[in-house]
Amino acid sequence: MNHRLRAVAFAFIICLFLVVFKLYYWQVLKSDELSRSAKNQYSAAYAVGVSRGTIRSSDNFPLVTNKLVYTLAVDPTMLEDTRRIFSDVLPIVLADTPTLSRETLAEKWRNLLKLRDSRWIPLSNNLSSSTAEEVGKLAISGLILRSGLNRDYPEASIAASLVGIVAGDKDGNPKGYFGLEGYYNRELEGHPGLVNEEKDARGQPILLGKFQKSDWERGRDLVLHIDRGAQFISQRSLADGLERYGASEGSVIVMDPKNGAILAMVSLPTYDPNLYASTDSKLFLNGAVAKSFEPGSIFKPIMMAIALSENVITPETLCDRCSGPWKVGEYWIRTWNEKYFPQETMTDVIIHSDNVGMTFVADKIGPKKMLHFFEKFGIGQATEIDLEDEDFIPIREENNWSPIDYAAASFGQGIALTPIQMIRAIAVIANKGIMVEPHIVSKIIGVENEKVIKPKILGRIISEDAARMTTEMMVLAVDRGEAKWTSLKGFRIAGKTGTAQIPVGGKYDQKKINASFVGFIPAENPKFIMLVTLHNPQSSSWAAETAAPLWFSLANKLITYWGVANFR
């Protein structure tokens, strides 16, 4: 009998323990989850109202703005007739999503409608107001239309790689990526408001129920230094140049060398920002700031400016090795056209774009000074331009340089720069030896305040005399050099061509080149400096026949656009 009582008592204790454990599980361990679940039965909370800031050109024209769009969703618990979703709603939505076939969209909706455990199943996003109005007229129970804002691009792809895109983050919230959208995301995104309201068993708001709403704050607007007309002219000219010269890629940067303001920046090929979801992600990168190249001869004025600033040469210094090829270790350095000029001056070295003469300059500077000035010029460093996708290739450590490396770097081979790094460095010469930081945005405008972005002066890099003498060399390179037939009459232009072989698999490909031209105008008091790059043009192996004529053609258009009188 006692055994039976003990067994019953033990069973009772076990049952009591299980009950207590279950109560502990539901009331303690699962308390928060159950509270949230219960709350979700009678309340709803969602973000509302955030309006992302606009991006405007220097004339205050919107390059990026917002447009009203709608999300179509369904509450399966309220849906009475699923067939009408496909017979009545699908044809209307399909007209607003031409990239999707009827079969694809129908299959997507069928799969979504299987998710019966949710009361909010989004079927289609970014629907126009007219489409939303048509769907609303159907008055189908269970359909939900919620308005929102999407990015709109009035100027289409005129500055796509510059402004970037807005897409969903890991939580589905809009976020800026690449370009200005990425760099200034916090300023542009604003702060959404929050609505918390009670709802009935059908999921509809209770008229006299609890309702709370916090205010939202719209994002700040960006006003750029970008001149819309110059941007359009540059993009059209570069597109024509790629086609004319058979180049696969190219870039144009137009900058004010005195304050670093970017007046135009184009990278091609580009994409339609309205269709970014179906775009190859490689096109999102802005090649003007994200893709490095070996500059070739446009780097020679930098080397010459260093040597002049250090007083190790003058423009009249004679080259004692320029009568023929020059051997460095086991390698022979030759001129681009196998023409040699014994006892030529340093000015002639720039005019003839003489590689042998540049090794003479490099030896005069010396390895340590050379690397020191590379650092001062920002070679292998970010320019800190206000674009998210800027990239760079760090310069090698001093112990990894050999004599042939120094020799090759003197004429722009074996080192890699982005176009924005290159134009900033040459702008030092144009700006009398002073370096400025390149910048896209001129103002950030909020609801109650306005922040003006002041030019950032980075300091003196070379002497003013060195900058002046190098400028004169570049003027003579335009007037007497291999690209002299492209010169603009009536203007003193300082410029330099660059042709560099492209390294492939650790070796230079003799048939693939980067062509470039950099110059500023007027030479004495520049209104702008411009760099044009072409990747692997097929029509010619020389920049004098591709990048140079494109530069001068574009410069002529910009001078006309801005007014010839401003350049006299």
Residue 29 confidence (pLDDT):
59
Where is 473: in which H helix or E strand? helix 464-480
Residue 17 confidence (pLDDT):
65
Among 531, 554, 460, CA closest to 296:
531
Residue 222 confidence (pLDDT):
96
* Whether pLDDT at 41 is above 80: no
233 vs 217, residue with greater confidence: 233
194 vs 561, residue with greater confidence: 561
Tens digit of each residue's pLDDT (9 = 90 or more) over 334-372:
998 899 999 999 999 999 999 999 999 999 999 999 999
134 vs 346, residue with greater confidence: 346
* Whether pLDDT at 304 is above 90: yes
Cβ pair 144, 73 in contact under 8 A: yes
Cβ pair 477, 490 in contact under 8 A: no
Q: CB neighbours (10 Å) of residue 526?
A: 24
**Range of weakest confidence among 114-118, 211-215, 419-423, 437-441:** 211-215
Q: Domain 286-527, what architecture?
A: 3-Layer(aba) Sandwich (3.40)
Question: Distance between CA 39 and CA 209 in Å, rounded?
Answer: 14
What is the mean pLDDT of the segment spanning 482-487? 60
Q: What is the homologous superfamily of the domain 66-148 according to CATH? A: Penicillin-binding protein 2a (Domain 2) (3.90.1310.10)
**Range of weakest confidence among 84-98, 113-127, 428-442, 515-529:** 113-127
Beta strands in 16-164 (DSSP E): 43-48, 55-56, 62-74, 121-127, 143-152
**Radius of gyration, alpha carbons of the chain:** 32
Residue 64 confidence (pLDDT):
92
Confidence grade of residue 19 (pLDDT, cut at 50, 70, 90): low
Q: What is the 3-state secondary structure (H, E, C) of 289-316?
A: HHCCECCHHHHHHHHHHHHHHCCCCCCC
Q: Which residues 6+ apart lie within 8 Å of 220 measured at CB?
A: 53, 187, 188, 190, 444, 445, 446
What is the mean pLDDT of the segment spanning 131-154? 83
**Range of weakest confidence among 113-127, 166-180, 205-219:** 205-219
Q: Where are the domains of the chain?
A: 66-148, 286-527
Distances (CA, A) of 320 to 304, 305, 333, 363, 364: 16, 20, 15, 12, 12
Among 135, 124, 128, 133, CA closest to 84:
135
Residue 101 confidence (pLDDT):
75
Tens digit of each residue's pLDDT (9 = 90 or more) over 180-222:
999 999 999 877 666 565 555 555 555 555 555 555 678 899 9
Where is 451: in which H helix or E strand? strand 450-452
Confidence grade of residue 111 (pLDDT, cut at 50, 70, 90): confident
Residue 110 confidence (pLDDT):
77
423 vs 282, residue with greater confidence: 423
